[in-house]
Amino acid sequence: MNAGDWNDLHIVSKANRSYFTINGKMASSFTDNHPDQLKRGLIGLQIHDAGMRVAFKDLWIKKS
């Protein structure tokens, strides 16, 4: 990756399991067993560092 390039993120969530890939490589997977989270289905986009510049484009949500 070069500075200024876009990353390709892919997130798959089924029931309480989630899988997260960056540029085709698995970055993380996790299980969320918190009962309130399983009922609501919220999506949040976040930044971890106050000085970080983040942009989003071409967001797609597919329900299957």
**What pLDDT sits at residue 38?**
66
**What pLDDT sits at residue 20?**
94
Q: What is the DSSP string of 26-52?
A: EEEEEE---HHHHHH-------SSTT-
> CA–CA separation, 61 vs 11, rounded Å?
10
> CA–CA separation, 59 vs 39, rounded Å?
23
Q: pLDDT tens-digit profile of 27-49? A: 999 998 887 766 766 778 877 78
Domain extents in the chain? 1-64
**What pLDDT sits at residue 46?**
77
| Residues paired with 11 in a beta bridge | 20
**What pLDDT sits at residue 26?**
96
